[in-house]
């Protein structure tokens, strides 16, 4: 018999409203699933003691008809974002024992709709670098092969969704922290337009690059979640507005040169991307090979801004707790100390220039298609040495420009997922999700489940 934990968000919501399923039963099924699988994937770091009480309250809301679209549905939250009454450690000993007193605004919105905030999921320390085996909580593991990483920093969010522990988790993305874990774990991750979702109540990494957004099992689910999370929804087109619509005539710029000639690109990834472009073409989209501005300047400018802003956020904490930080996090923060005001000013000028260049390159097109990461998830063993290991991605450019970007499964290599990325203009999440949903329906990549 199918567990309620395996129902999609739309299926579960329909059953809840029809009275054929209660939030209490759904939440208990999810708790049972977490109990069974979390020892293998280490996605959850905390389970809400009041999860069933939240579900009971949601059932009362459902009976009254006073509900939001996510009422009664269990949702996991990255341990970088405040949930009242739950731990708020940012994955660090620095905040050991810290309990959030209030909900972050995005979480308050979910709670007001009757969502069940079932627990907190793992993050790299302060959303910086990882995996770091020396931290208090065990590293989240890739459900497809626990010997491999999830990517970060929304590591637990991706592992929880891909492993079928929950259908929806909330994460953050400063340089690819939603999209890279989604790609590595075979989930769907959506970084929205900058400031579409409130960043308040999430411990900042780099405020001008930080984004809050959803990870889920399907494109439709991330679209519905983003609509529920959106601040001032009256100012935005719903991300779910075009789900299921044909994409005939949609003009997609295929940025193949951003990854295909890179020596770090896995040949399987290049093949998967070409097949994805072909599939989208068969669905009626107009695919054009384009040359985007070079990726390296985006990465360089974003890196300066990120490290400079991160150091400012941590100056006081480092002064009092330097010995409590993990070593990789301190090494990351040290980059910020090497920067001066002129470096940052030049990076911000580059941000303005590069954003304009990216939008100009999109002229005549609706979306960009490119890779998320250039290879499958690395094994944990690659991180055993003292030297930092960088996984090649094509994500941080769109933190710099603030454009919406969706990562979804595009295939597999050696039993591990590969991901593609669809990027739109600011506010065009509906187009991004429409194209992603059409691709998802035409392939079976998102339907595959890890052997848990």
Distance CA 404, CA 232 (A): 17
Whether the Cβ atoms of residue 436 and residue 219 lie closer than 8 Å to each other = yes
Handedness of CA 271, 273, 274, 279 (dihedral sign): positive
Report pLDDT for 386: 67
Distance CA 333, CA 266 (A): 30
Q: What is the DSSP string of 338-379?
A: T--HHHHHHHHHHHHHHHHHHHHHTTT-SEEEEESBSSPPPB
CATH of the domain at 65: 3.90.1300.10
Stated as kind and residue range, the H or E segment containing 223 is helix 219-229
- Phi, psi (rounded to 5 degrees) for 422: -120, 130
Report pLDDT for 385: 74
Asked if residue 186 is part of any domain, the answer here is: yes
Distance CA 336, CA 339 (A): 5
Asked if residue 335 is part of any domain, the answer here is: no
Q: Is 206 a catalytic residue?
A: no
Distance CA 29, CA 224 (A): 22
Radius of gyration of the chain (CA): 20
Asked if residue 245 is part of any domain, the answer here is: yes
Return the ∠ at Cα 387 (arms to 385 and 388), rounded to 5°.
110
Q: Is 155 a catalytic residue?
A: no
Asked if residue 308 is part of any domain, the answer here is: no
Q: How far is CA 22 from the centre of its chain?
A: 28
- Phi, psi (rounded to 5 degrees) for 87: -55, 145
Whether the Cβ atoms of residue 301 and residue 354 lie closer than 8 Å to each other = yes
Per-residue confidence in pLDDT tens, the chain, 452 aa: 689 999 999 999 999 999 999 999 999 999 999 999 999 999 999 999 999 999 999 999 999 987 889 999 999 999 999 999 999 999 999 999 999 999 999 999 999 999 999 999 999 999 999 999 989 899 999 999 999 999 999 999 999 999 999 999 999 999 999 999 999 999 999 999 999 999 999 999 999 999 999 999 999 999 999 999 999 999 999 999 999 999 999 999 999 999 999 999 999 999 999 999 999 999 999 999 999 999 999 999 999 999 999 999 999 999 999 999 999 999 999 999 999 999 999 999 999 999 999 999 999 999 999 999 999 999 999 998 766 677 899 999 999 999 999 999 999 999 999 999 999 999 999 999 999 999 999 999 999 999 87
Asked if residue 53 is part of any domain, the answer here is: yes
Which residue, chain included where needed, has tokens 């949702």? 75
Q: What is the per-residue burial (b if ≥16 Cβ within 10 Å, else e) of 211-238?
A: bbbbbbbbbbbbbbbbbbbbbeeeebeb
- Phi, psi (rounded to 5 degrees) for 43: -75, -45
HEC string of 59-93 equals HHHHHHCCCCCCCCCEEEEECCECCCCCECCCCCH
Q: Of the listed 23, 153, 198, 206, which one is catalytic?
A: 153
Q: Of the listed 23, 78, 157, 206, which one is catalytic?
A: 78
Give residues with Cβ within 8 angstroms of 55, minimum separation 6: 22, 23, 24, 26, 27, 28, 72, 74, 116
Q: Is 23 a catalytic residue?
A: no
3-state SS assignment for residue 335:
helix
Distance CA 274, CA 121 (A): 34
Handedness of CA 124, 332, 215, 162 (dihedral sign): negative
Both structure tokens of 232: 């001032």
Q: Of the listed 23, 109, 177, 240, which one is catalytic?
A: 177
Q: What is the DSSP string of 2-21?
A: --GGGS-HHHHHHHHHHTSS
Asked if residue 251 is part of any domain, the answer here is: yes
Asked if residue 44 is part of any domain, the answer here is: yes
273 C-beta neighbours (distance < 10 Å), count: 27
248 C-beta neighbours (distance < 10 Å), count: 10
Give residues with Cβ within 8 angstroms of 16, minimum separation 6: 22, 23, 26, 62, 71, 72, 73
Count of the separate structural domains present in the chain: 1
Q: Based on the number of CB atoms within 10 Å of its own CB, is 106 exposed (0-12), middle (13-18) or buried (19 or more)?
A: buried
Whether the Cβ atoms of residue 224 and residue 206 lie closer than 8 Å to each other = no
Distance CA 152, CA 164 (A): 18
Range of the domain at 383: 4-296+345-442
Report pLDDT for 1: 63
Which residue, chain included where needed, has tokens 């989209």? 285
Report pLDDT for 384: 85
Report pLDDT for 287: 98
Both structure tokens of 135: 């931290």
**What's this model's pTM, rounded to 2 decimal places?**
0.97
Whether the Cβ atoms of residue 410 and residue 445 lie closer than 8 Å to each other = yes
């Amino acid at each position: 018999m199918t567990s309620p934990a395996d129902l999609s968000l739309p299926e579960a919501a329909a059953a809840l409203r029809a009275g054929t399923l209660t939030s209490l039963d759904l939440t208990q099924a999810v708790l049972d699933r977490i109990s069974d699988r979390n020892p293998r994937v280490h996605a959850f770091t905390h389970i809400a003691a009041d999860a069933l009480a939240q579900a009971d309250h949601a059932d009362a809301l459902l009976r009254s008809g006073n509900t939001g679209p996510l009422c009664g549905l269990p949702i996991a939250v990255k341990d970088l974002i405040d949930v009242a009454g739950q731990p708020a450690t940012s994955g660090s000993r620095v905040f050991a024992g810290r309990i959030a007193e209030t909900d972050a605004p995005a979480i308050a919105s979910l709670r007001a709709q009757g969502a069940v905030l079932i627990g907190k999921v793992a993050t790299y320390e302060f959303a910086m670098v990882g995996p770091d085996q020396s931290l208090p909580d065990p590293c989240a593991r890739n459900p497809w092969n626990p010997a491999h990483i999830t990517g970060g920093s929304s590591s637990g969010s991706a592992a929880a969704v891909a492993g079928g522990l929950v259908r929806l988790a909330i994460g953050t993305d400063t340089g690819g922290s939603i999209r890279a874990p989604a790609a590595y774990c075979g989930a769907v991750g959506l970084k929205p337009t900058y400031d579409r979702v409130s960043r308040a109540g999430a411990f900042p990494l780099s405020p001008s690059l930080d984004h809050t957004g959803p990870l889920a099992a399907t494109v439709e689910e991330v679209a519905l979640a983003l609509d529920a999370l959106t601040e001032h929804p009256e100012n935005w087109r719903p991300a779910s507005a075009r789900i299921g619509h044909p994409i005939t005539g949609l003009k997609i710029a295929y940025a193949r040169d951003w990854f295909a000639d890179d020596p770090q690109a896995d040949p399987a990834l290049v093949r998967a991307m070409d097949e994805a472009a072909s599939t989208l073409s068969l669905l009626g989209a107009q695919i054009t090979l384009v040359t985007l501005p070079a990726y390296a300047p985006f990465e360089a400018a974003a890196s300066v801004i990120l490290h400079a802003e991160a150091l400012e956020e941590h100056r006081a904490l480092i002064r009092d707790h330097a010995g409590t930080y993990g070593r990789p996090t301190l090494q990351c923060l040290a980059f910020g100390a090497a920067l001066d005001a002129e470096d940052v000013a030049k990076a911000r000028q580059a941000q303005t220039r590069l954003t304009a260049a990216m939008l100009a390159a999109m002229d005549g097109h609706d979306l960009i298609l490119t890779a998320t990461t250039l290879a499958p998830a690395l094994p944990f063993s690659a991180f055993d040495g003292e030297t930092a290991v960088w996984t090649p991605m094509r994500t941080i450019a769109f933190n710099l420009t603030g454009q919406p970007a969706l990562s979804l499964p595009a295939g597999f290599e050696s039993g591990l997922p590969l991901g593609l990325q669809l990027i739109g203009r600011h506010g065009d999440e509906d187009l991004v999700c429409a194209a992603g949903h059409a691709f998802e329906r035409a392939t079976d990549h998102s339907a595959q489940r890890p052997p848990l």
